[in-house]
Structure 1
């Protein structure tokens, strides 16, 4: 069967493996490896936060660059190149102990993961929609949660074999390379691009009348969401290891996040069909705020794991719902307006992600606890829910 005629299910599976590699592993494996790095390198929380922020800054830069029409070459080249760089940068983390080198490597890794996400949209999601199989996007987005769960199992298994932090990074790079080979076999090149419509419908209207208070509140809320989820998503394994009564959960907590994230896009899409994307967004933010607060509530392993599960069950859903609602509100301005607003939304989200780990690391150095930064993150999520849930 010619590559262009491959079944949509295979295409969605290719997307699952690509997001598992670039996002679940390349972007988020730092979380379960961080406690090992902290022990092996005496890495201060402030430096750990900077390393995470560098990755998210790279993601922001990559997401904005990836949407540029001036990039040469075909999307599949950038897609596979991003996966390869993601594998190489994970392995490269094992080759240095320099903070500046860590910052550079994780920045490049963030750029690579963003490129994979941006170009897989063209290679996978667009073609699934054209084929009338848009529902398979839930399988595609499940890759993030599957990758997180896989990375949790990988780190836990290697920990049982007394692996150190260097070996964990090397194994993560190797796993990413395997997933790259699978994705390359399942995701064919895109068909020739169709010509842009000649009716001028992609042009941004001069008055930009589609921009209103509701859309601006959504953009602000998306930035608060980026800040609110990322502190727990970065430090939850470290919290487990550093809190005596929670140490039994260290190998389970990141697995709980991944397993709950995998089906979350499907679940939140169903909720949004009933309530609308804005109400679903607000509900998910409130549930996530509860989960973030529970991870520092000091009430034992069960509620700590519940908090992690709520984080996993919501963060991908909120991500998708924000994109969905922005597309809807900006659609009156045409395709150019949609691209512009998605870029602004990405910038807002990226800024929140960059500030979150740095803020948490600084506050930890001042207070000796992740409780205050986590409660600040929960408050940011509550504000995000109020901004989006407000009518008009």
Structure 2
């Protein structure tokens, strides 16, 4: 058994069979469509929505918020929907709904029409985030789940990268054509993933004996939910203001700001697999703590430095970790709730809801603060760094208590 993970050498050599690969690639397609594209592809379309007089600047902000609100609704409704509809069927329907939303947004019939479809795309994203990994990972060998979850959430990074590259290329054809192109791409990815989703849940493993269950698991899970919520507060400032900070805050212009967003997107493609593989090797408690530390340092750098190269390095770190925290937190849940797929799904749903709620609150709160602080990028970034530092402190405290409780149980026996 390895000291870091407690897995046998034979288990460490376990690979992925064809069905597992297809399921993993379907998960990647799902996260790409419903989260990567549905959320991040909207950002580069905002100026064109205003310039083409489809909507006013205020309306565009409202429509952007519709996706966040829908995401929160999807995080809340994902598990109840999965209780009524088989996961395979539900995931297919959610991807179709996102594709339909892209196509519907090519026709700005009214503000209400657009709001409903942006809300629906957010709802699909939140529900897919809750369901995609928990539908797939039980079919993956335990020693390869970090890698597989990283591959699934590479889709988020691909969507971020596409928002800075493919979407501007589509915009050369026109605004309506860009929406239709996103819809066509989503339909293609839906078709590619159609038969890859697992048809049924795996046979449940016996639950762990009560005496072997980690008694601090409940407290550690509650701490993890709080940490993930704070993680959202730490990441939102960068998602909102990175391009504006480079373009106006550093006076480098909109084109250079767009290049930094591309850099952020490229880094986000590489991050999830690396983070998941690190969790497989050293355990997810340690890997997530490293991720929180690096995020806090990188966001703090944005608050105090205006050097383009330093800002670029911080952008790479944050870009890599933005989608990477998803497989890290998911893996940590699997460590705290081993072999219980139903409870893993419930815990992941709660974590995703906490993240979605504080992401939405943070988006509105930071926007208000930015507008009423003389547009201080440094202040908003500093608060993001503080939120991440608090998350790291909570994680250290929670794991310290867990080790202390474990030591007390050992001494008692």
Q: Same fold (TM over 0.5)?
A: yes
Report the CA distance shift for 1:150/1:123 in structure 2 as closer, same or farther (over 3 A).
same
Give the alignment partner of residue 214 of structure 1, picking from 216, 220, 233: 220
Count of residues in correspondence between the two structures: 378
Summarize the alignment of residues 373-392 of structure 1 with structure 2, pairs less than 5 Å apart. Answer: 373-390=380-397, 391-392=400-401
Task: After TM superposition, give the deviation of residue 223 of structure 1 in Å.
Answer: 0.5
Asked if 1:183 corresponds to 2:193, the answer is yes
Helix, strand or coil: the match of 1:88?
A: helix
Asked if 1:305 corresponds to 2:308, the answer is no
Aligned equivalent of 2:34: 22
Helix, strand or coil: the match of 2:232?
A: helix
Helix, strand or coil: the match of 1:262?
A: helix
Q: Distance in 2 between matches of 1:171 and 1:295?
A: 35
Q: Distance in 1 between matches of 2:259 and 2:294?
A: 20
Give the alignment partner of residue 93 of structure 2, picking from 76, 81, 103: 81
Helix, strand or coil: the match of 1:95?
A: coil
What is the TM-score with the length of structure 2 in the denominator?
Answer: 0.78
Report the CA distance shift for 1:274/1:336 in structure 2 as closer, same or farther (over 3 A).
closer
Asked if 1:173 corresponds to 2:183, the answer is yes
Q: Distance in 2 between matches of 1:220 and 1:189?
A: 31
The CA RMSD measured in Å over matched residues stands at 3.5
Structure 2, unpaired ranges of 5+: 1-16, 402-413
Q: Which segment is superposed worse, 220-229 or 69-78?
A: 69-78
RCO comparison, higher one (Cα < 8 Å, 6+): 1
Report the CA distance shift for 1:57/1:355 in structure 2 as closer, same or farther (over 3 A).
same
Give the alignment partner of residue 315 of structure 1, picking from 319, 322, 327: 322
CA deviations over 1:284-312 (Å, ceiling 9, x no partner): 12322333344565625433333322221
What is the TM-score with the length of structure 1 in the denominator?
Answer: 0.81
Report the CA distance shift for 1:310/1:131 in structure 2 as closer, same or farther (over 3 A).
closer
Structure with max Cα Rg: 2
Q: Distance in 2 between matches of 1:274 and 1:74?
A: 33
Q: Tell whether the 8 Å contact from 1:253 to 1:305 is kept in structure 2 after alignment.
A: yes
Task: After TM superposition, give the deviation of residue 50 of structure 1 in Å.
Answer: 4.5
Structure 1, unpaired ranges of 5+: none
Q: Distance in 2 between matches of 1:291 and 1:168?
A: 33
Task: After TM superposition, give the deviation of residue 13 of structure 1 in Å.
Answer: 2.7
Report the CA distance shift for 1:230/1:204 in structure 2 as closer, same or farther (over 3 A).
farther
Task: After TM superposition, give the deviation of residue 220 of structure 1 in Å.
Answer: 1.0
Q: Tell whether the 8 Å contact from 2:29 to 2:155 is kept in structure 1 after alignment.
A: yes
Aligned equivalent of 1:96: 108
Task: After TM superposition, give the deviation of residue 101 of structure 1 in Å.
Answer: 4.5
